[in-house]
A and B are shown apart, each in its own frame.
Chain A
Amino acid sequence: DVKVTQSSRYLVKRTGEKVFLECVQDMDHENMFWYRQDPGLGLRLIYFSYDVKMKEKGDIPEGYSVSREKKERFSLILESASTNQTSMYLCASSLRDRRSYGYTFGSGTRLTVV
């Protein structure tokens, strides 16, 4: 079964810490995405990557950066965590062809910043 794996289900970090959220997919997908999910706001795109070392900003990139050194791995970095970054973070992947869209999602990482 194809999978997108997020390294942690739950994380608690302190304000000001540098936080790494890891996502790995085993489907050889070109595209990978990070979304943030908040009640009443749905999913908001933070960053996405369409190839190794390639990235594009989404709708809410402030306070975040990403890294994609290998095709299967896409990392989200919170440079200096703040309480307003407490949220559910979802990683997804898809093939490059837009007509093959149907993201595969990971189970999510619930991050609490205290």
Chain B
Amino acid sequence: AQSVTQPDIHITVSEGASLELRCNYSYGATPYLFWYVQSPGQGLQLLLKYFSGDTLVQGIKGFEAEFKRSQSSFNLRKPSVHWSDAAEYFCAVGVETGRRALTFGSGTRLQVQP
């Protein structure tokens, strides 16, 4: 069965600094990979997704993520963080056959300092 690990529970960065959130997955074949963001009191919003092809994926709000098969990783990056990026971020994995639902990581809470 597939699984997702987000090693960082909580990250604090200064506004304007770069950001990288880590995500590692476990699955025997190429998975479908997603990043979602949850602002306080809200549901989750899709930031970006990877199915195949170019391993660098661009998303909304200036985010990007890179799929690295050799490291089983799909890290989320942003070159310059804004205060409005403070939220919780979830990585998720889906598969081509078998389980129809996504499996989510435990989340990383991002705090942005002025």
Are the CB atoms of B107 and A98 closer together than 8 Å? no
Asked if B44 and A56 sit within 8 Å, CB to CB, the answer is no
Q: How far is the CB of A88 from chain B (nearest CB, A)?
A: 10
Interface: A60 (CB within 8 A):
no
> B90 to A31, Cβ gap below 8 A?
no
B100 at the interface (CB under 8 A from A): yes
For chain B, which range describes its interface: under 10, 10 to 19, 20 to 34, or 35 or more residues?
20 to 34
**In contact, B43 and A106 (Cβ under 8 angstroms):** yes
Question: B42 near A: Cβ within 8 Å?
Answer: yes
Residue on B nearest A110 in the bound complex, by CB: B41
Name 9 A/B residue pairs within 8 A (Cβ), A-sorted: A4-B43, A31-B100, A41-B106, A48-B100, A92-B43, A98-B96, A101-B32, A101-B34, A107-B43
Interface residues of chain B, those whose CB is within 8 Å of chain A, are: 6, 9, 32, 34, 36, 41-46, 49, 51, 90, 92, 94-96, 100-107
9 pairs of A and B residues whose beta carbons are closest in the complex? A105-B43, A42-B106, A43-B104, A105-B44, A102-B46, A107-B43, A42-B104, A48-B101, A42-B107
User: A40-B106, A42-B106, A92-B43 provided; 6 other pairs, C-beta below 8 A?
Assistant: A43-B104, A48-B101, A50-B100, A56-B100, A98-B32, A101-B32
